Structure 1
């Protein structure tokens, strides 16, 4: 409409499982928590983002389009195109390593974390903006040393949390392109040169990776990296004939 084309899509996703790590990475193939209690291990998978909104658009700029002059040729006929993404964060567990468990598993992070007395799941995420809590995204004061698995001889006393108690950082990103086609007389009458200025992460929005959710780690609760590069600008020329 009036030179604007756009497409918007929204996705709501859920994937529930008892073994979110069963096929992921070097530690794939084992189950966290009580392997005899699937209900206690049941929760959202790690790779799911529950909400995702994507908008793509192309707009023919109306300026100088009808001017048959050098100024019109230079400033008219430009297009702006882009893709904007908003998506919610991953739903993460808190894991703990306990090599003395009754199942004889010594893999990294094979039990769920233990909430401290008086600290519910609602307090597991530190409040505030992501940038204000990079060093304590997870409220580490809410977690304590879990009981030794099988210490009572009957394989109870596992960590009292479950998958999905930590909400990872949300993300938003916009990529933009500025496009202009210049007609050329050669190599044929249909040929043109397309100029593109492309801006990835155009607004230089910080987008952070998930926090370290392994309770035994020295960086437990911290966000250590970004998920998307800072703004990148590139220019391109393409001859179409």
Structure 2
């Protein structure tokens, strides 16, 4: 089943002569295993588009289907439940809770979803170990490097097994090598776990992860190009240098 279908999505801020058309008639389909990179200049509407897809912002018009279900007009509680179970969010600033350990940060969405603490702890540990952070379970965010924080954020995003991961500038605060590691990690999430990933970024290095690159300008979708995923993903035999990173 298609993970996401966006049809003629639009968002207008303000009214009358002060109205600003942030997103204008965007349509997009995303299937399991897709990695879509959305690029465009500042103010082009790409973050607004991501916010509407993630149900953090209501569209002015158009429809959003998640797993075939129209979610455009759901109520607040329904949307909160949808975000908890269907989406994983990865933010530019990590958004880790400073008073919680890496393990506790990953446990949080699991406990919120009603999973018993013992089970949530075991699942959080497995997720962090899978991302090479088994030795950082009890570390606070202040004791982690930028790359480690982002990997904790990715583990938290995957905790509830979402069909769709939404990443907003996931490499913006990382150096080149660490950004590359996060890029390859996003490849693995899509390919190994068959999840869909949508990335909004100015960082053109993320083309290495993308299967499709979508350009947004003045709120409109102006171009769709193939990305370089198959040349770089560690899951593909054509990328021995990527697997060595």
Decide which structure has greater helix share: 2
- Structure possessing the higher relative contact order (Cα contacts under 8 Å, 6 or more residues apart): 2
Q: TM-score range by the shorter chain?
A: under 0.3
TM-score (norm 1): 0.18
Rg comparison, structure with higher value: 1
